[in-house]
Structure 1
Amino acid sequence: MRYHLTTAALAATVAFAAPAAATDLEVTHWWTSGGEAAAVAELAKAFDATGNKWIDGAIAGSGGTARPIMISRITGGDPMAATQFNHGRQAEELVQSGLMRDLTDIAEKEGWKDIVRPSSLLDSCTLDGKIYCVPVNIHSQQWLWLSNAAFEKIGVPVPTNWDEYVAAAPALEQAGIIPLAMGQQPWQTSLAFQVLVVALAGSDVYNKVYGDKDADLAAGPEMAKVFEAADKARSMAAKSNVQDWNQATNLVISGQAAGQIMGDWAQGEFAVAGQVAGEDYTCLPGLGVNEVIQTGGDAFYFPVLKDAEKSAAQATLASTMLAPETQVAFNLKKGSLPVRGDVDLAAANDCMKKGLDILAKGNVIQSPDQLMSADSLTQVNDLFVQFFNTPAMSAADAQKTFASIVAAAD
């Protein structure tokens, strides 16, 4: 994929047909950390510039907390105008129930299929040939974030891969530094495991286990090595007693922890703290072992509304979110990559440039949300919450349970 920008493209703006009077649209999402708030403000600013008004409906907590609230409102007859979900199957039942607006006419008019890259993002918005959401970014989980100051304190070079990082853990602990920062939200432990799968077992194993639901492979020796690594990660994170992901990121920013396995959205927190990639912190895509970008991320769905003015404003918001200027401003703050392949990211930091390079090479995988149902992923999340919080649970026992979940997954 090429990310470039001509002078004409930079100057171009999307022409919006502003309604006669400003229309308020409530938009729900779970972006509440410092970096996330700065990013969502760019979406709001772009929409407000069309003559409408973004009414922010942020829900504190993670997607696991917010999604049930969003779904309950939509199914209960109190829909918002637009709502965030992750790329994948999270809104599938709402679409099948006729509760989500069909955006196909807008998508065809604006040529979304020609500008959204990779195409799997728009595929995740498509059901029975119709498009129901607007992908706004590409988020990848496959990152290890390291505090340069923490390793300087123990006199060890900043690691370049997972093995070097694990080897430094004893010295970090002796210096009173938490080797691995990890919050207690259920998805965080599952995310760490998924990253270990791709980095240490490879993309093919990941795709066969999560995509093909290969239970034999999930129970086999290749995955056993991943569970052994997860056991080490569990030990390294034993003294990390924070709850939210951004609290764990702040442990790295402050040097209280040496590293964190987290998605590229962590960059937003480093940016808010005034830290510079390559100077204050180091990022290792694929744990420095297997450099891959996951093509997950965020998308916005638009519940069906009876109000004609609000419906017209929904169309304007959908267009605004994919406008080149919006894509650049939002993703630079979010730490994610744009879904458009024709925008300029000259201002990207070192870590974002690494991501762009990997994406350009085509080293991509789909997110778990695109491969497994929400119910199956909830079972996986629950398993790893138990594993990371129960030292007596062996890696072998966890693998056995995981294989049984994969066997029954859809």
Structure 2
Amino acid sequence: MRYRILVAAFAAATTCGYAGVASATDLEVTHWWTSGGEAAAVKELAKAFDATGNKWVDGAIAGSGGTARPIMISRITGGDPMGATQFNHGRQAEELVQAGLMRDFTDLAAKEKWTEIVRPKSLLDSCTIDGKIYCVPVNIHSWQWLWLSNKAFETAGVPVPKNWDEFVAAAPKLEEKGIIPLALGGQAWQSSGAFDVMLAALGGKDLFLKVYQDKDAEVAAGPEMAKIFKAADDARKMAKNSNVQDWNQATNLVITDKAGGQIMGDWAQGEFQIAGKVAGKDYTCLPGLGVTEMIATGGDAFYFPVQKDAAKTAAQEVLATTLLDPKTQVAFNLKKGSLPVRGDVDLNAANDCMKKGLDILAKGNVIPWTDQLLSQDSQKQKEDLMSEFFSNPNLSVEDAQKRFAEIIASAD
């Protein structure tokens, strides 16, 4: 559902003074990072901000972004804005910006030369509306990963797969040992994200962009996409016994060797790290499903709602600067499992999987993600379809593809 914002109703929320003040203050920061690995990463941001003399007041909202965003948006539009709030890179805060409810950080960005340090450039582009910068990117999160339990495949008596086809082929052996081939949570964003990963990895960059960037409904209805829906059908069959809801519960099935693998973003690394698992030894990560080594430059950014309190306004700028500080970038992203947005930081401590991501990023094998290419309306329609497809085996591949092409035809 598109969040309709009546600017006149909230005009009072847009009036504030911008004069800087020296006094420190509490600043509430809302986000949906509540799993073990995510919480550990957030503590690094809070520690860095508290070191400035201000205080990070944690406003974690349990659940996924789909649960948290409506709450965040309701508070902002209702005149009760937090000091800063997480959104994904892309168009999620577009209408809030257009309504004048988010701070313009163009001057700070110019002063601190964000255009020179933030890489890739598309991250800052996603923060830019009508030539003005409204958010601070904090990480690069890529969805395009297949996480595998090495022990699960050892138990099944088959080699750890090197690509998607080998993973699908190994599924019967896993099932014989009572191991779920594919862990998948029940929330719509997870099935939709897994489908998009298959489209990018198995279909390739050109097909992905024709569908989501060009909104080519004919291609969406064509034979190339039919192959992706066939792969999605394989995936839903492998995931049929994955009876969990949250993404980190699905990740835990892989961590505990109850599932062979999971298609999930690199934030899953934080969960493996908290569990004491070692990349390359206990688990294997396949970027691009082992087929197309490519990552999307999605991830997270912080937006700063307009404040009436001058001290909070000043603290917002301090937080923005802190989020992009090199030390903060390293500490946060090592815990989060994501890649830093600065191209000039030292990540010698990166694990095997993070190094794979950094190598792909260095080669420039990147694409924008659906949050950047589709409106929230279109995203929601796609999520609803994929949720139904993965949960309802009676929805045929052909009917699902037809409905998908209709969504793309009207996408914005």
Same fold flag (TM > 0.5)? yes
Distance 1:318 1:228 in 2: 44
- CA distances 1:165-215 after superposition (whole Å, capped 9, x unpaired): 000000100100000000011100000100000111101100110011000
Q: Is 1:218 the counterpart of 2:204 in the alignment?
A: no
Write the mapping of 1:2-401 to structure 2, written as runs, cut at 5 A: 20-401=22-403
Distance 1:55 1:199 in 2: 39
Other-structure match for 1:403? 405
Distance 1:174 1:155 in 2: 10
RMSD of aligned C-alpha atoms?
Answer: 0.8
- CA distances 1:36-58 after superposition (whole Å, capped 9, x unpaired): 00001000000000000000000
* Alignment coverage as a number of residue pairs: 393
Aligned partner letter, 1:222:
E
Distance 2:389 2:131 in 1: 40
Any unmatched runs of 5+ in structure 1?
1-17
Distance 2:230 2:281 in 1: 32
Aligned 8 A contact 2:24 2:311 in 1? no
Aligned partner letter, 2:118:
V
Aligned 8 A contact 2:146 2:289 in 1? yes
Aligned partner letter, 2:275:
A
Seq. identity, %: 77
- CA distances 1:219-251 after superposition (whole Å, capped 9, x unpaired): 000000000000000000000000000000000
Any unmatched runs of 5+ in structure 2?
1-19
Distance 1:164 1:81 in 2: 48
| Structure 1 stretches of 4+ moved >4 Å | none
Question: What is the TM-score normalised by the length of structure 1?
Answer: 0.95
Aligned 8 A contact 1:142 1:287 in 2? yes
Aligned 8 A contact 2:157 2:173 in 1? no
User: What SS is found at the alignment partner of 2:218?
Assistant: helix
Distance 2:106 2:203 in 1: 39
Deviation at 1:261, TM superposition (A): 0.2
Distance 2:22 2:346 in 1: 33
User: What SS is found at the alignment partner of 2:153?
Assistant: helix
Deviation at 1:154, TM superposition (A): 1.2
